[in-house]
Structure 1
């Protein structure tokens, strides 16, 4: 009876399965203009519609673990198109949220750095690439944004947003 060497098949299978983890923070998450977005009300707002955009804000991301700008202010009800530009050599992300939510998510990312996640309030941006999200700030308050890739949040890659009532 001829014995089959299963090592090449096993290695190929591992490669296919591992590629999903490798893509967890890649272009697969970049928001495409025609991508269907599930809208869920969050304390910091809700996914917006492209037709309702009132202004565009460019957010720079750097390997110095900083956003530029890192302080933003909007009026309640404003729909914003964020364009994220990663000028660095490593993956970065932009995640909107309340500080407690970002803290919890950052802790999970340290434990499970390859974890896949894709929500309308986050953008994953490969080195030298751009990505965007459209968000409606329909709740007043102070909120945060951060890069939650393990080590980036802890290094200070964060920003603040104030949403003011009229």
Structure 2
């Protein structure tokens, strides 16, 4: 018997199927805290995710940005319009293809993201407050690995669609 099956079949292990319920509850707790933390951000959670990706991941063009975030290009256009109107990002010609647009953060956008990152970090700390520091770090690391595995096996999967289908 494999080690993972042995552990899952121990008397204290949750029955198969409970993992989904647990993940759903954690996700709901995260979502409510995240929504509160980004209150006032132009375009809300999506605006935060876009601005964070623009600053931390440096997508080469608008299409790559949408692909990374699994946002439909039409929806992305509206979200970017909101962020441009708010003065936090701007569209510039992409260096690799002048027909494409690269999204870059303005100084105002960088400052705004720094403020919201503090709020999001506090919300995440609140969510994880029931765990010891090392446990929270381990959980974050393991979830990151699992998320990347899922992303590699289902590159077009949208986490937002999963949210829409929670019970």
> What's the TM-score, normalizing by structure 1?
0.27
Greater share of helix residues, 1 or 2? 2
TM-score (norm. length: structure 2): 0.27
Structure with bigger strand share is 1
